[in-house]
Amino acid sequence: AQKITQTQPGMFVQEKEAVTLDCTYDTSDQSYGLFWYKQPSSGEMIFLIYQGSYDEQNATEGRYSLNFQKARKSANLVISASQLGDSAMYFCAIGSTAGGTSYGKLTFGQGTILTVHP
């Protein structure tokens, strides 16, 4: 079984500042992937970033980076230079990548609401 824990129900950040959203996970799989999704108030789920369990480098996608600490089982999302449009719910998720391919059965955390202040 897999589990994602997001301990921050809500976070506030000033525009142009960086913010870190916490995510810890638990899994018995040796090979897995960690994902972050953004859900704005309009409701759609937007993929942000992916980290494979065997990737040695932390993933980066534009202003998003994933601080992957395997020994601590944490996969925190760092958003640099926050923008007002970053205000949304953010979900961390984990999926098995057995066999080297990504399997779309993801386990999601409860989410963190990020509010960016001007």
Partner 1 sequence: NAGVMQNPRHLVRRRGQEARLRCSPMKGHSHVYWYRQLPEEGLKFMVYLQKENIIDESGMPKERFSAEFPKEGPSILRIQQVVRGDSAAYFCASSPLDRPNEKLFFGSGTQLSVL
* Contacts to partner 1 by CB under 8 A: 4, 33, 35, 37, 42-47, 50, 52, 91, 93, 97, 100-111
Shortest distance, CB of residue 67 to partner 1, whole angstroms? 18
Cα dihedral across residues 20, 6, 34, 29: positive or negative: positive
- Name the residue nearer to partner 1 (CB basis): 74 or 107: 107
CB of 88 to partner 1, least distance (A): 14
Nearest-approach distance from CB 52 to partner 1, in angstroms: 6
Nearer to partner 1, 14 or 30 (CB): 30
| Closest CB 13 distance from partner 1, rounded Å | 21
Three-state helix/strand/coil letters over the chain: CCEEECCCCEEEEECCCCEEECCEEECCCCCEEEEEEEECCCCCCEEEEEEECCCCCCCEECCEEEEEECCCCEEEEEECCCCHHHCEEEEEEEEECHHHCCCCCEEECCCEEEEEEC
Q: Which of residues 17 and 70 has its CB atom nearest to partner 1 in the complex?
A: 70
| Of residues 81 and 85, the one with the C-beta less far from partner 1 | 85
